[in-house]
Amino acid sequence: MLQIRNLEKRFGTLKALQDVTLEIHSGEMVGIIGRSGAGKSTLLRCINRLGNPSAGTISWHDDPVSQLKGRALRQWQRRCGMIFQQFNLVPRLDVMTNVLMGRLSYRNTLLSLLRWFPREDRARAILTLERVEMAQFALQRADSLSGGQQQRVAIARALVQQPQLLLADEPIASLDPHNARRVMDILRRINREDGITVLCNLHTLDTARHYCDRVIGMRDGCVVFDGAPSQLDSGTVRQIYGVEHDADFNEGVTSTWLENDAAPVACTAT
Amino acid sequence: MHEAMQQKSVLDFEAAFRRERLRQRIQFLVFGLLFALATWLAADISQFTFARLWEATPRMGDYLVRTLPELHLMSLPGDIAYWYYGFDRWLKLLFDTLLIALLATLFGAIGGLLLCFPASRNLVKNYTLYFVCRRFAEITRTVPEVVYALIFVVAFGVGPMAGLLALTIHSIGAQAKLYSEANENIDENPLEGLRASGANWFQVMRFGVLPQVLPNITTYTLWRMELNIRSAAIIGFVGAGGIGQELYHAISFNYYEDISAIVLMVVFTISLIDLTSERLRHRIIGRENLT
Ligand SMILES: Nc1ncnc2c1ncn2[C@@H]1O[C@H](COP(=O)(O)OP(=O)(O)OP(=O)(O)O)[C@@H](O)[C@H]1O
Ligand SMILES: [Mg+2]
Q: pLDDT tens, A231-249?
A: 888 888 888 887 655 444 4
Whether A266 is in a domain gets the answer no
Residue B238 is predicted with a pLDDT of 85
Most A CBs within 10 A among B191, B195, B197, hence the mutation to make, goes to B197
Residues with CB under 5 A from ligand 2 (ion): A 41
Q: Domain for residue A265, yes or no?
A: no
Q: Give the residue numbers spanning the domain of A214.
A: 2-259
Q: Is A25 part of a structural domain of the chain?
A: yes
Residue B187 near chain A (CB below 8 Å):
yes
Residue nearest to atom 7 of ligand 1 (CA): A11
Query: B183, exposed or middle or buried, with CB in 10 Å at 0-12, 13-18, 19+?
Result: buried
Residue A136 has a pLDDT of: 92
Instruction: Report pLDDT for A261.
Output: 42
Number of domains into which chain A is organized: 1
CB B213 within 8 A of CB B264: no
Q: What is the pLDDT of residue A253?
A: 46
Q: Does B126 touch chain A (CB under 8 A)?
A: no
Q: For A9-31, give one letter per residue: b (16+ CB within 10 A) or e.
A: beeeeebbbbebebebeeebbbb
CATH number of the domain that A202 lies in? 3.40.50.300
A26: left (phi over 0), alpha (psi -120 to 50) or beta: beta
The verdict on residue A268 lying in a domain is: no
Give the residues surrounding ligand 1 with Cβ less than 6 Å away: A 11, 14, 16, 34, 36-42
Residue A88, classified by CB atoms within 10 Å of its CB into exposed (0-12), middle (13-18) or buried (19+), is buried
Q: Give the ipTM.
A: 0.87
Q: Is residue A12 part of a domain?
A: yes
State the Cα angle at B68 between B66 and B74, rounded to 5°: 130
| Helix, strand, or coil (residue A50) | coil
pLDDT level of residue A215 (50, 70, 90 thresholds): very high
Q: What average pLDDT does this structure show over A30-54?
A: 92
Q: pLDDT of B125-182, one tens digit each?
A: 999 999 999 999 999 999 888 899 989 988 888 888 889 999 999 999 999 999 999 9
Name chain A contacts of B214, Cβ cutoff 8 Å: 92
Asked if B198 reaches chain A (Cβ–Cβ under 8 Å), the answer is yes
Chain B nearest CA to A117, separation (Å): 13
Weakly modelled stretches of chain B, pLDDT under 50: 290-291
Atom 16 in ligand 1: residue holding the nearest Cα? A39
- A269 within domain boundaries: no
Report the residue among A18, A35, A41 best suited for mutation to probe ligand 1: largest number of ligand atoms under 8 A from its CB: A41
CA–centroid distance, residue B51 to ligand 2 (Å): 69
Q: Is residue A69 part of a domain?
A: yes
Chain segment A128-160, per-residue pLDDT in tens: 999 999 999 999 999 999 999 999 999 999 999
Residue nearest to atom 8 of ligand 1 (CA): A42
Cα(A48)–Cα(A65) distance, rounded to whole angstroms? Answer: 9
Determine the average pLDDT of the residues in A163-178.
92
Question: Taking CB atoms and an 8 Å limit, are A157 and B208 in contact across chains?
Answer: no
pTM exceeding the 0.90 threshold for the entire prediction: no
For residues A195-219, give the mean pLDDT: 90
Cross-strand partners of A197:
A165
Q: Cα dist. B243→B68, B100, B191, B266 in Å? A: 19, 11, 47, 8
pLDDT of residue A263: 38
Local confidence band at A267 (pLDDT 50, 70, 90 cut-offs): very low
Give the mean model confidence (pLDDT) for residues A164-183.
91
Of A44, A80, A86, A90, which to mutate for an interface test with B (greatest number of B Cβ within 10 Å)?
A: A90
pLDDT score, position B73: 81
Closest atom of ligand 1 relative to the A39 alpha carbon: 18
Q: Give the C-alpha separation, B249 to B255, whole Å.
A: 8
Distance A82 CA to ligand 2 centre (A): 13
pLDDT of residue A258: 43
| pLDDT score recorded for residue B51 | 86
Residue A109 burial (10 A CB sphere; 0-12, 13-18, 19+): middle
pLDDT band at A264 (very low <50, low <70, confident <90, very high): very low
- Residue A112: list chain B partners with CB under 8 A: 203, 206
Report the pLDDT averaged over residues A29-43: 91
Asked whether residue A193 is assigned to any structural domain, the reply reads yes
Specify whether the CB–CB gap between A32 and A226 falls below 8 A: no
Looking at residue B60, its pLDDT comes to 84
